[in-house]
């Protein structure tokens, strides 16, 4: 029996699942293309797999990598590990080579659960993985273990104990595994439901990978808390998004990165408003398209701010008029400040790094798995340092400016890649864009933009430069422009700026100073 103080921290993930199996037995909980699962069915399959994993020695506290595509097997694996008191380490299925070795090795595992989508990548690095690692594959031994007879599992894990590890994208360095407690997962599900007005009748739809916070913590967990339905797509696709949302009967969906802009720039259809969605949340919400998007698709857009490391400290109040460009105000569960480079708080309207700390327990990551130095560095001066640059107004509304690590130093000025991209994407023929720095012969950097035109559109570089010149400061107008078919991305739709920087200028790059294409080298 837990003490009163510990009970106040709430249930564990597996404990809440068992409760929902009793209170919402036949309610649809998980919805995939392969079919629906009720709370009772998920609980039963969870118990069976947990028994099977226990039979091969998976113990409380064990760290178990899970590498799977979106599907029922992924979520049953996560819930089964939770029931055992083990820690599910959810690894990006796109990782390969050194990145994959790092992510698995840092978990110090004895067992790994995976499916066919990553089998070849695992085989390629087999010699570099821990010796004696037990491989449990979907389509093989996983099914055998999942068919076990249920047994009573005695576990003493609590709400503050680790439940899962989610890895950062690794776009600027080695991926860091954020250690998240049961309370982190369920408390953020509660906070999101509260601040976005989720209902127990909602179908919460997410097309992004289950190894990402949006799908697991911010879609499945709210459905678990509310007794609602979580609908998980296989992957994000502009052409497939609305048909899937309609098929799933979605009422809420989330977006990230350029996905909202991509949906907006798809050719209009008289079917656009023919959907059941009432609310979409995410970041960013471009001001130029927000009103038109809402009217076209018949829904309400809400912006917020958060990260796997820090949780979600800001929401734009859902019942107040949109503040253009704002990602919201700070909720009661957090304290925040904006700091200059010396650690002092900046004034209203000034740009600074966002630092945060919680006002209640276990709603931020407990650190980075196997990286104590990185954990301490991120929490220096008693604040968690997000690495994000924002400013705020007198009413407490915050405005995202860009990542500290995603800035370009040009002609003595620091340029936010985010702000440059927002200007370029205003052009009606631009589908997507990524700004980054390339070495300059004058020291520092020059500004380059990789641009994805809308299908069937041709953009003259001189016209795009003129377009930017009329909307941005001179030092924020790109020198180099490269038109590409697509941007390199992680499975969570984050642009791989490291790939773009390494590639640099190409034979197809247009140089505004030469008004011609540059030569390689």
**Which residues touch 319 (CB under 8 Å, ≥6 apart)?**
none
10, 308, 192, 402 alpha-carbon torsion, rounded to 10°: 150
Q: Is 78:175 a contact under the CB 8 Å cutoff?
A: no
In whole angstroms, how far apart are CA 81 and each of 87, 348, 475?
Answer: 6, 46, 52
At residue 153, the pLDDT reads 84
**Which tokens belong to 285?**
């919400």
Please, which pLDDT band fits residue 252 given cuts at 50, 70 and 90? very high
Burial readout 316-338 (b: 16 or more C-beta within 10 A, e: otherwise): beeeeebbebbbbbbbebbebbb
- Lowest average pLDDT, out of 2-11, 22-31, 82-91, goes to 2-11
H or E element that contains 30: strand 28-32
Distinct helix (H) and strand (E) counts, the chain: 17, 26
At residue 442, the pLDDT reads 65
pLDDT digit string, tens, across residues 172-185: 567 899 999 999 99
Averaged pLDDT of the chain? 92
Task: Return the SS3 of 108.
Answer: coil
d(C-alpha 266, C-alpha 288), whole Å: 16
268, exposed or middle or buried, with CB in 10 Å at 0-12, 13-18, 19+? exposed
pLDDT, average across residues 411-415: 72
pLDDT digit string, tens, across residues 479-496: 999 999 999 987 667 888
Which of 229, 269, 265, 264 lies closest to 250 in space, CA to CA? 229
Q: Is 3:153 a contact under the CB 8 Å cutoff?
A: no
d(C-alpha 319, C-alpha 321), whole Å: 7
Task: Return the SS3 of 35.
Answer: strand
Residue 87: CB atoms within 10 A of its CB come to 26
**Which tokens belong to 454?**
């809308």
Where exactly are the structural domains of the chain? 411-517
221, exposed or middle or buried, with CB in 10 Å at 0-12, 13-18, 19+? buried
**Which residues touch 68 (CB under 8 Å, ≥6 apart)?**
74, 77, 93, 113, 114, 115, 117, 118, 138, 210
pLDDT, average across residues 379-406: 93
**How many residues in total does the chain contain?**
521
d(C-alpha 182, C-alpha 194), whole Å: 18
Which residue shows structure tokens 């392969």? 34
**Which residues touch 199 (CB under 8 Å, ≥6 apart)?**
226, 228, 251
- Please list the helix, strand and coil fractions of the chain in percent, rounded to the nearest 5, in that order: 35, 25, 40
At residue 173, the pLDDT reads 60
pLDDT, average across residues 356-367: 97
% the chain with pLDDT above 90: 79
**Which residues touch 158 (CB under 8 Å, ≥6 apart)?**
2, 6, 9, 12, 182
Specify the CATH architecture of the domain 411-517: 2-Layer Sandwich (3.30)
pLDDT digit string, tens, across residues 425-475: 999 999 999 999 998 876 678 999 999 999 999 999 999 999 999 888 788
pLDDT digit string, tens, across residues 53-76: 999 999 999 999 999 999 999 999
Which of 295, 292, 290 lies closest to 273 in space, CA to CA? 295
| Dihedral of alpha carbons 173, 192, 77, 84, sign | positive
d(C-alpha 176, C-alpha 178), whole Å: 6
pLDDT digit string, tens, across residues 187-239: 999 999 999 999 999 999 999 999 999 999 999 999 999 999 999 999 999 99
Which residue shows structure tokens 């698709």? 297
């Amino acid at each position: 029996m837990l003490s009163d103080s510990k009970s106040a921290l709430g249930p564990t993930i597996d404990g809440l699942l068992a409760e929902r199996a009793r209170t919402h037995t036949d309610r649809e909980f998980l919805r995939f293309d392969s079919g629906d699962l009720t709370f009772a069915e998920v609980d039963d399959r969870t118990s069976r797999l947990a028994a099977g994993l226990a039979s091969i020695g998976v113990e409380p506290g064990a760290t178990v990598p899970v590498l799977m595509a979106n599907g029922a097997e992924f979520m049953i694996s996560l819930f089964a590990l939770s029931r055992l008191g083990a820690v599910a380490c959810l690894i990006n299925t796109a990782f390969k080579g050194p990145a994959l070795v790092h992510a698995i090795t840092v978990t110090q595992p004895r067992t790994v659960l995976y499916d066919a989508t990553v089998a070849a990548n695992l085989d390629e690095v087999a010699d570099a993985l821990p010796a004696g690692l037990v491989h449990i594959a979907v389509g093989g031994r996983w099914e055998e273990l999942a068919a076990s007879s249920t047994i009573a599992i005695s576990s003493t894990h609590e709400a503050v104990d680790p439940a899962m590890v989610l890895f950062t994208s690794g776009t600027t360095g080695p991926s860091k595994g954020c250690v998240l407690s049961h309370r982190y997962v369920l408390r953020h599900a509660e906070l999101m439901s509260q601040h976005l007005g989720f209902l127990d009748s909602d179908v919460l739809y997410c097309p992004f990978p289950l190894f990402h916070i949006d799908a697991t913590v911010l879609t499945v967990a709210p459905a678990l808390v509310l007794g609602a339905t979580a609908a998980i797509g296989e992957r994000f696709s502009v052409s497939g998004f609305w048909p899937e949302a309609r098929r799933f009967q979605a009422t809420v969906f989330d977006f990230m990165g350029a996905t909202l802009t991509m949906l907006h720039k798809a050719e209009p259809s008289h079917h656009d408003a023919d959907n059941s969605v009432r609310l979409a949340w995410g970041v960013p919400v471009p001001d130029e398209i927000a009103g038109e998007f809402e009217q076209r698709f018949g829904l309400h857009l809400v912006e917020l701010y958060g990260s796997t490391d820090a949780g979600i400290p800001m929401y734009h109040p859902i019942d107040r008029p949109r503040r253009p460009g704002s990602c919201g105000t700070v909720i009661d569960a957090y304290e925040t400040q904006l700091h200059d480079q010396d650690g002092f708080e900046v004034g209203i309207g000034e740009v600074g790094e966002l630092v945060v700390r919680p006002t209640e327990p276990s709603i931020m990551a407990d650190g980075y798995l196997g990286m104590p130095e990185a954990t301490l560095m991120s929490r220096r001066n008693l604040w968690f340092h997000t690495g994000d640059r924002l400013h705020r107004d007198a009413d407490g509304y915050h405005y995202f400016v860009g990542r500290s690590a995603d800035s370009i130093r040009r002609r003595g000025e620091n340029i936010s890649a985010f702000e440059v991209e927002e200007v370029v994407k205003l052009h009606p023929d631009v589908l997507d864009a990524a700004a980054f720095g390339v070495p300059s012969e004058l020291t520092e950097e020059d500004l380059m933009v990789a641009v994805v035109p809308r299908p069937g559109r041709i953009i003259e570089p001189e016209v795009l430069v003129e377009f930017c010149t009329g909307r941005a400061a001179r030092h924020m107008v790109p020198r180099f422009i490269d038109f590409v078919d697509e941007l390199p991305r992680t499975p969570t739709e984050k642009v791989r700026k490291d790939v773009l920087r390494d590639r640099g200028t190409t034979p197809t790059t247009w140089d505004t100073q030469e008004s011609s294409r540059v030569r390689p080298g």
